Amino acid sequence: MSQRMWMVLISFFWVAGPAFAECDTNASDTEITSCLGQDLRDSDKRINAVYKELMGRLDDTGKNDLRNVQRAWLKARDKACELDSKESDREKWLSAILADKQKTMCVVRYTFSRVAELDATLKQKAPEASTALPAAPTAPRFLPVANPIAMPSDGLMFIDDGYIGIALPNYRQGKWYYEVWIDRGNIAALGDMLLTMGFSTNDQFYAKMINIRRSQVSATPIAFGFAIDLDSGFFYTRVNGLWQSFPGSVGGAVVKLNHDYHVNIQGSSEVKELVWRGLVKVNLGLKPFEYGLPDGYRPFKEQ
């Protein structure tokens, strides 16, 4: 396959469109989704530009290796994120992804990580390469933690190579609550990251999204509270103690009943690493809540 044809193949997000303002971590899910769409387009431009730069500098063996790695990455992304590879209209394809929190998280995870990997390869192979490359979000690259602050025994279990944290048991009835504290500034110092937090079943995910950017190193920590009413069917979120809609009201997100729900936290980078470094703290109820337990609710994990 020619380089030109391959470049067309890896151009999986770019379309002409408006540039969105950088997402604030207090933005709504709709605003964050709009920003993520632009992030993915920008990332595509960066991937294409770095790929082209590398292909112009590598020998034949290196070029072949780079093609194979890129093909493997695309295959792994499409399989893991369950993407529709037959959709020819890339904007429709992207819109379908952004309409699904699970797929959005998955694609952001693979894309930001690939940008970081290609940038690292470029720095190694061509440190003098042009700096006039398109800007794009990039995932943090974590160093090993010698003394983790928190371990899975604290109530959170990690799956999918640490990108997902879950807490059991599953609940089908009742009213349940937990809190998540996030050190936005120190996470931003590591790189760009998308986090989603809430409750899920095998096929349902009710969550709050937060998009952390490298430019937000001065951001203060933020605390989220999540309440799910499995008797009436609503999901509520509070931010730094303020409810977006009060528990008991009809303003919460409507939840499908008669499903088994558990705590679910996902990241575009390893949630496990953030928890182990104390940059994300999850309180399932094993200690007092920062903003208090809502009336009529129980801690997700009681002491």
In the chain, the percentage of residues whose pLDDT exceeds 70 is 86
Rg (CA), the chain: 20
Question: Per mean pLDDT, which range of 7-16, 131-140, 288-297 is the poorest?
Answer: 7-16
pLDDT exceeds 80 at position 215? yes
Give the tens place of pLDDT for each residue, 185-203.
Answer: 999 999 999 999 999 998 8
How much is the pLDDT for 4? 39
What are the extents of the domains in the chain?
Answer: 3-125, 152-299
For residue 99, the Cα-to-chain-centroid distance in whole angstroms is 14
pLDDT tier, 9 (very low <50, low <70, confident <90, very high otherwise): very low
In the chain, the percentage of residues whose pLDDT exceeds 90 is 52
Distances (CA, A) of 87 to 90, 96, 97, 195: 7, 10, 12, 27
Residue 220, classed as helix, strand or coil, is coil
The answer to whether the beta carbons of residues 176 and 298 sit under 8 Å apart is: yes
How much is the pLDDT for 3? 40
Q: Give the residue, 273 or 149, on which the prediction is more confident.
A: 273
Distance CA(219)–CA(23), nearest Å, equals 13
Q: How many helices (H) and strands (E) does the chain have?
A: 7, 12
Tokens representing residue 167 in the block: 């807490």
Q: Yes or no: is domain 3-125 CATH 1.20.1270?
A: yes
How much is the pLDDT for 92? 85
How much is the pLDDT for 303? 64
Please state the φ and ψ torsions of residue 118, each to the nearest 5 degrees.
-65, -40
**What type of residue is 54?**
L
Locus of tokens 């470029």: 122
- Mean pLDDT across the chain, nearest whole number? 85
Give the tens place of pLDDT for each residue, 131-153.
Answer: 678 888 888 878 766 666 655 44
pLDDT exceeds 50 at position 17? no
- Top-level CATH class of 152-299? mainly beta
Secondary structure of 58-102 as H, E, C letters? CCHHHHHHHHHHHHHHHHHHHHHHCCCCCCCCHHHHHHHHHCCHH
pLDDT exceeds 50 at position 10? no
pLDDT tier, 14 (very low <50, low <70, confident <90, very high otherwise): very low
pLDDT exceeds 60 at position 107? yes
How would you class 189 by CB atoms within 10 Å of its CB: exposed for 0-12, middle for 13-18, buried for 19 or more?
middle
How much is the pLDDT for 23? 66
How would you class 13 by CB atoms within 10 Å of its CB: exposed for 0-12, middle for 13-18, buried for 19 or more?
buried
The answer to whether the beta carbons of residues 290 and 223 sit under 8 Å apart is: yes
Question: Per mean pLDDT, which range of 131-135, 227-231, 269-273 is the poorest?
Answer: 131-135
pLDDT exceeds 60 at position 18? no
Q: Give the residue, 112 or 131, on which the prediction is more confident.
A: 112
Average confidence (pLDDT) over 210-236: 95
